[in-house]
Structure 1
Amino acid sequence: MPAVKKAKRALSLAQSIVRDIEAGRHNPGDRLPREDEMLARYEVARATLREALRFLELQGVIHLQLGRGGGPVVARPQTGDFANSLSLILHFMEADLRGLLELREAIAPDVAAYAAQRATTADLSALAGCLAELRRHEASDQFEELNRRFHDLLGWASGNPLFGLMTSAMHLLTREFSNSLGYSAQERAMQIKFLVRIFEAVRTGDSPAARRAMGRLVAGSAVYLSERSPELVSQRVRWGQL
């Protein structure tokens, strides 16, 4: 069988397996049927089935459990799976950190505005807890990670999972960049100042104020990074750095 045709059959089979998972036949943590059962159900060759399963493993849909009684186990693709695939595309597009910062400037203000409209009580509680942690660790090595976590929580509080996914993925892509740079004490204080404003706007449902505060925060952060380390923001995204 030609390699291209074989690959297409494997992809088609992978899509069929995903449809079966989506239909409720399998839940996260469930083992898929034994190989001979799957061969009979889908009427494919063994090599095609194994290639389809390898593809699904790479996408985070399943993981292979080793040992007696192991085999393919249903999972759920996570943000890291999306970020890893995205980083491969960005690698070949020769995208750099500056491009990611500009993307953040474009969407972050609207994310904050939507969060002000849609944040739940649970969202507000999580944001308040993260902000309190940020204040306690303003001078520690945990600041950058807690800062990212606040923005991640805000993305998911927008009520739009696409915003949450994109926000979290961008933070995974930029983690190594920002960790190598760090923030000065003055910049950390400024970040917290604006995060407090954003949180209060979200808490009170003030979308315009949330948008303005977030716009000023991300624009100021981009300027800070560009001025402090212009060579860093020009570095390209590399696949495999997550």
Structure 2
Amino acid sequence: MAHPPLRPQKTAMLVAQQIVADIHRRGNRVGDRLPPERVMLDEYSVGRGTLRESLRFLELQGVISLRPGPGGGPIVQQPDASSLTTTLTLLMQFEKAPFRTITEARTALEPMMARLASERMSDEKLKELKESVDMMRDNLEDQEVFLEQNRRFHDLIAHGSGNVMFGYLVDSLLGILDGSAIGIDYPQFRRAAVHKAHLNIYEAIASRDPEASAEAMAQHIHEYVRYAEKKFPEVLDAPIVWSS
């Protein structure tokens, strides 16, 4: 289906938006190949340079991958939170926002996520949450495993809330959520305290108790902030910086 010629202003962006709309209209799935370049040039009534700019933008956003050679071309992908990570981190860096920005957001939002998760999380995801709690318990001496399960636990609750925005928001911040990447340390006594908090949160969610779930999460985040303020105040006030 040919589309009417697009106005010159921001043509590449408009073409990118139309390509996404057509992906959904056609019901394309991950791994499907989009029409070849010559077809898309006619379909969107634009020049080769504009079309390629549109495709490069969509590749950066994770909507497609561009495979070279015969049988290649644009292939549909599932976008993830990586582009949101870059955008949010850059925005905060240019605002000179301190790491405290993250802890304040967690204080406000994560109790709500836990509340919703207690009402909406599937039994399958609840089992995964318990697995995370148990894996943390069994590996308290291994900081790498601890940090991995800490992030997994909070990510599962965010997605278990049934709110896509919460899920992607936590996904986008996983790299800096706990502060370990910028200097907050977790000695074994602190890891044990975090495990106990996670167990309390899990039990409240498993009991399908919204109030207890929100309260347990609020207490957990409060303890984390209090620990950071006491031991690592300079980290809380350090500006967020975009990095790999």
Counterpart-to-counterpart distance in 2, 1:48 and 1:6:
10
Partner SS for 1:172:
coil
Deviation at 1:182, TM superposition (A): 2.4
Matched letter for residue 109 of structure 1: P
Contact 1:80–1:172 (CA<8 Å) still a contact in 2?
no
Q: Which runs of 4+ in 1 moved over 6 A?
A: none
Single out whichever of 223-232 and 41-50 deviates more from structure 2: 223-232
- TM-score w.r.t. the length of structure 2 is 0.91
2:216 to 206, 210, 213: 213
When you count helix as a share of all residues, which structure comes out higher? 1
Matched letter for residue 70 of structure 2: R
Percent identity, aligned pairs only? Answer: 36
1:73 partnered with 2:75: yes
Counterpart-to-counterpart distance in 2, 1:149 and 1:96:
24
Alignment RMSD: 1.6
Partner SS for 1:29:
coil
Contact 1:113–1:207 (CA<8 Å) still a contact in 2?
yes
Partner SS for 1:138:
coil
Which residue does the alignment assign to 2:4? none
- TM-score w.r.t. the length of structure 1 is 0.92
Which residue does the alignment assign to 2:19? 17
Which residue does the alignment assign to 1:44? 46
Which residue does the alignment assign to 2:154? 151
1:165 partnered with 2:168: yes
Counterpart-to-counterpart distance in 2, 1:123 and 1:213:
19
Partner SS for 2:65:
strand
Which residue does the alignment assign to 1:190? 193
Counterpart-to-counterpart distance in 2, 1:19 and 1:117:
33
Deviation at 1:190, TM superposition (A): 1.0
Which residue does the alignment assign to 2:90? 88
Which residue does the alignment assign to 1:102? 104
Which residue does the alignment assign to 2:135? 133
Matched letter for residue 163 of structure 1: F
1:237 partnered with 2:240: yes
CA spacing shift, 1:146–1:88, aligned 2, 3 Å = same
Partner SS for 1:28:
coil
Q: Deviations over 1:26-72 (max 9, x none)?
A: 22111221111100111111111011111111111111223432222
Contact 1:14–1:55 (CA<8 Å) still a contact in 2?
yes
Counterpart-to-counterpart distance in 2, 1:30 and 1:131:
38
Deviation at 1:83, TM superposition (A): 1.3
Partner SS for 2:241:
coil
Contact 1:113–1:210 (CA<8 Å) still a contact in 2?
yes
Counterpart-to-counterpart distance in 1, 2:186 and 2:69:
46
Deviation at 1:7, TM superposition (A): 5.9
Matched letter for residue 102 of structure 1: E
Deviation at 1:214, TM superposition (A): 0.6
Matched pairs, number? 236
1:201 to 198, 201, 204: 204
Counterpart-to-counterpart distance in 2, 1:235 and 1:63:
36
Contact 1:111–1:154 (CA<8 Å) still a contact in 2?
yes
Name structure 1 gaps, 5 residues minimum.
none
Counterpart-to-counterpart distance in 2, 1:228 and 1:107:
24
Single out whichever of 86-95 and 129-138 deviates more from structure 2: 86-95
Partner SS for 1:216:
helix
Counterpart-to-counterpart distance in 1, 2:73 and 2:171:
30
Matched letter for residue 101 of structure 1: T
Counterpart-to-counterpart distance in 2, 1:55 and 1:62:
9
Matched letter for residue 231 of structure 1: E
Matched letter for residue 96 of structure 2: E
Counterpart-to-counterpart distance in 2, 1:162 and 1:104:
14
